[in-house]
Amino acid sequence: MLFITIWPLFGLICLGFLLSRKGFPDPGFWPAAERLNYFLLFPALLVSSLLRAPLDDPQLLRLGGATVTTICLVALGMVLARRLWPMPAARFGPALQGAIRFNTYLGLAITASLAGPEGVSRAAVYLAIAVPLVNVLSIVALSEADVLRRPWVLLKTMLRNPLILACLAGIALALVGTGLPFGADRFLELLARGSLPLGLLCVGAALRPDSLRGDLAALAGNSALRLLLVPGIAALVGAGFGLGSVEVLVLVVFSAIPTAPTAYVLTRQMGGDGTLMAGLVTGQTLLGVLTIPLVLLVLGLG
């Protein structure tokens, strides 16, 4: 049953890959579609989901604490591992992103399939906390912490991120409690409906199988960490924080899904090992077809 629920989502990723390889509808379509989704459709989904989130629910505060704890534990483990196996920032940045970043479209799609609107609203709260945190950690890792000497540069980067801005806007509107006037909430919901399917198609279009010919040991080790060990850590942290079933599902799903395709863009922009990052994105996405249902079944969340 779980596989039947999840496979259509990966079917969309495969379809996006095939369409892109065939040049349909046009090679320039996919970058434009990704920009449309990243700057408009997906922020609309975040705002509309947070608008309905019960921010006074104590479970959401616990979910926030569990989110920060899980990500920081994994990041700390990566830092300690780097002391044993030294590597330059150009490679450590992709390795860290492979362990802590997540494919937001896939995570929300799985959560919506398994937990419905309640799960999506919880996932939006998770994203409001996790997106800024993983972005800061990724930039620091890629820059060898030099960016911390120029905090305004980091702040400017964060405030240009449409997902972070959407989360801030959604939380502010939820706290005010007045909603949006003149049917604007309905307008956002209509925009949001196209986000997840288009996002999954774009994920497929961005896959680069050629990148899997690189360092297979690094790709395999990082993928095993991300897809198998990190969700186990998340489940333990969730139990420690006393999360409810939906909150645990959100925490584990976003810890079990592949790393984010946007990590490749950030890595290239900051002079990191783009080939390694592309390999991690592609390899984890392909392996996720098997590991995500397995992890959810083993942890009793399917």
The predicted pLDDT at position 1 comes to: 67
Say if pTM beats, i.e. exceeds, 0.95. Answer: no
**Span 54-75, pLDDT tens digits:** 888 899 999 999 999 999 999 9
**3-class secondary-structure state, position 242:** coil
Q: Which residues contact 279 (CB under 8 A, 6 or more apart)?
A: 208, 211, 212, 214, 215, 219
From residue 82, alpha-carbon distances to 38, 76, 89, 285 in Å are 32, 10, 10, 25
DSSP code of 41?
Answer: I
Give residue 292's pLDDT.
Answer: 96
Q: Which residues of the chain have pLDDT under 50?
A: none
Domains of the chain by start residue, with CATH: 30-204+214-298 (1.20.1530)
Structure tokens at 147: 């960016």
Q: Which two tokens stand for residue 266?
A: 């950030």
Tell me what pLDDT residue 148 has.
Answer: 63
